[in-house]
């Protein structure tokens, strides 16, 4: 059996691009999964501190 949910920590800008169905990435993802932001992770949460903020997202596979 395949996992129905996937949890990822990604750069905040990448997450925003996944929401845009006018971009190839967003369109392809939205045909297969629902994307939900669970938590904002500021750069200060990491060491060494990156130049970008991150988010924890949940991808849930669409049921057919």
How confident is the chain (64 residues) per 10-residue block, as mean pLDDT?
Answer: 89 95 92 96 96 97 84
pLDDT of residue 3: 83
pLDDT of residue 1: 58
CA distance 55 to 35: 12
CA distance 26 to 23: 5
Task: Report whether 57 contacts 37 (CB < 8 A).
Answer: yes
């Amino acid at each position: 059996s395949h996992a129905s949910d996937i949890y990822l920590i990604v750069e905040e800008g990448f997450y925003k691009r996944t929401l845009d169905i006018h971009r190839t990435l967003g369109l392809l993802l939205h045909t297969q999964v629902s994307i939900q932001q669970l938590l904002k992770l500021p750069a200060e949460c990491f060491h060494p501190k990156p130049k970008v903020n991150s988010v924890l997202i949940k991808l849930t596979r669409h049921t057919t």
